Amino acid sequence: MQAKDLQKELQSNIRDYGMYIALFAIMAVFTVLTRGVFISSRNIADLMNQTGYIAILAVGVTLVIVMRQTDLSVGFLSGFLGAIGAIAMVSWGWSAWLAIPLLLVLGILAGLLTGFLVASVGIPAFVATIAGWLIYRGCLLVVTRDTGTIVIQDPLFLAIGSGYVPDLLARLPILPHVHKLTLLLGLATIAWANLSMARSRRSRAAYHFDVPPTDLFVVKQVFLSLLLAAITWVLAGARGLSWTLVVVLAVVALYDYVTHQTPIGRYIYAVGSNPDAAEASGISVKKMLYLVFASMGLLSAVSGILFASRLQSATPTAGTLFEMDAIAAAYIGGVSAAGGVGKVTGALVGSLVYMSLTSGMNLIGVDISLQYIVRGAVLAAAVIFDVSTRRHPR
């Protein structure tokens, strides 16, 4: 009975599990090949920080693709906005507290402009955003023409991309080389995850809905807790939680909540899956297009901030090909080009898969030409897997 349930669960979620299995396999292979260096706390912390700006873009791109649209302008938009931020702080003497909100607002405005072109004027998103790609690239070159690379010194701004959450508990006399705040936060997360799952299960049971049998539920919770504990331990082993990771987790958590739990989120998927049905249900397709492109613009700004902060400067080439990396990550994360299917958490895992490949191959010194080929093959394999698991009748 139990095994059957597990099998059924596995079958119906094969796509999601496949992605996690792939991530796990890639990490395991590189750990072996690098004799453990890959899984070291320091490398994992670096990997998370490298993944940050792509993961943020991939989250936005996922929703854009769910809506059957595309956005190629996000790379140079994020580069351009990063440069604006640098100029605001360096040339105009603004503090990061002012510069960051400015960038977020500019990002939303840029997204609304794309939304206007696509939803109101009726230009295909592909073309509208190639125009954006060219224009933002030009803008980036204009604003960095006189200065070249602009070095940023604002400590607050730099902390976002390369700083870590300070260990407020460092004085506690236990575990000398471990980031104790991270450990505490990790334990708190585990407790919260278990409590909220148990509560949701109780509330479903109160409605007399089907709930998984108790033993299966416990096994699942133990597995999840161990996984979270392992991640926590690895992160706590180095400098702890980076601010980049905090930003990424916050964005993913927010978007995951909005897409799953709020009407707006459901409308995005409804429009992507069947625009006519959505319109007939009283949903404005146009409004949703504006919304999704505005969110894309906002996330481009966040990504630009993360990248500029990580590089500690704005450069004339910032953002080059970010859009392609983000789109690839979104597809690896399980979004469907036909629209209506794809998760925000998938975008995060897809980005991790993509960046783990890069990071791992760099560690073992694979030539860059071969790296591109491997990444391309993995992307193709992910989508082939996706298409074939979708086609089989359940």
Partner 1 sequence: MSRTILEMRAISKAFPGVKALDGVTFQVREGDIHCLVGENGAGKSTLMKVLSGVYPYGSYEGDILLEGRVQTFRGIADSERVGIAIIHQELALVPDMTVYENILLGHEIRKGIAIDWNETIRRATEMLRKVGLALNPATLVKDLGVGKQQLVEIAKALSRDVKLLILDEPTAALNEDDCDNLLALLDGLRQQGVTCVLISHKLKEVIRIADKVTVLRDGQTVRTLDARAGEVSEAALIRHMVGREITDIYPKRGPVAWSVGGAPADGSGARGGAEVVLEVRDWWAEAFQEPILKGINLHVGRGEIVGIAGLMGSGRTELARSLFGNPDHYRLRGDLFIRGERRALAHPRDAIRAGLAYATEDRKRNGLVLIQDVKQNITLANLQAIARRGVVDNNAEVRVANEYKTALAIKTPSVEQVVGHLSGGNQQKVSIAKWLFVKPELLILDEPTRGIDVGAKFEIYTLMNQLVEQGMSILMISSELPEVLGMSDRIYVMSAGAITGEVAGAGATQETIMQLATRN
Question: Residue 211 CB, nearest distance to partner 1 (Å)?
Answer: 12
Window 274-293: residues binding partner 1 (CB under 8 A): 274, 276-283
Contact (Cβ atoms closer than 8 angstroms) between residue 227 and residue 20: no
Residue appearing with tokens 């560690």? 363
Indicate which single residue of 4, 145, 177, 394 sits in contact with partner 1 (rule: CB under 8 A).
Answer: 394
Indicate which single residue of 76, 80, 133, 269 sits in contact with partner 1 (rule: CB under 8 A).
Answer: 269
Stretch that binds partner 1, among 31-39, 229-237, 256-264, 323-331 (CB under 8 A): 256-264
Q: Cβ closer to partner 1: 48 or 251?
A: 251
- Total residues at interface with partner 1 (CB under 8 A): 26
Residue 293 to residue 275: CA distance in whole angstroms: 17
Q: Cβ closer to partner 1: 146 or 210?
A: 210
Residue appearing with tokens 């260990």? 167
End-to-end alpha carbon distance in the chain: 20
Told to check if 122 binds partner 1 by CB under 8 A, we report no
Q: Cβ closer to partner 1: 42 or 204?
A: 204
Contact (Cβ atoms closer than 8 angstroms) between residue 83 and residue 141: no
Alpha-carbon torsion angle 226, 360, 356, 391, nearest 10 = -100
Told to check if 207 binds partner 1 by CB under 8 A, we report yes
Q: Cβ closer to partner 1: 42 or 199?
A: 199
Contact (Cβ atoms closer than 8 angstroms) between residue 296 and residue 142: no
Nearest to 236 by CA among 169, 191, 173: 169
Told to check if 204 binds partner 1 by CB under 8 A, we report yes
The angle, 0 to 180 degrees and rounded to 10, between the axes of the packed helices 368-391 and 344-363 is: 150
Window 328-347: residues binding partner 1 (CB under 8 A): 340-341
Indicate which single residue of 203, 317, 362, 389 sits in contact with partner 1 (rule: CB under 8 A).
Answer: 203
**Cα Rg of the chain, angstroms:** 22
Positions touching partner 1 (CB under 8 A) are 203-204, 206-207, 209, 257, 261-263, 266, 269-270, 272-274, 276-283, 340-341, 394
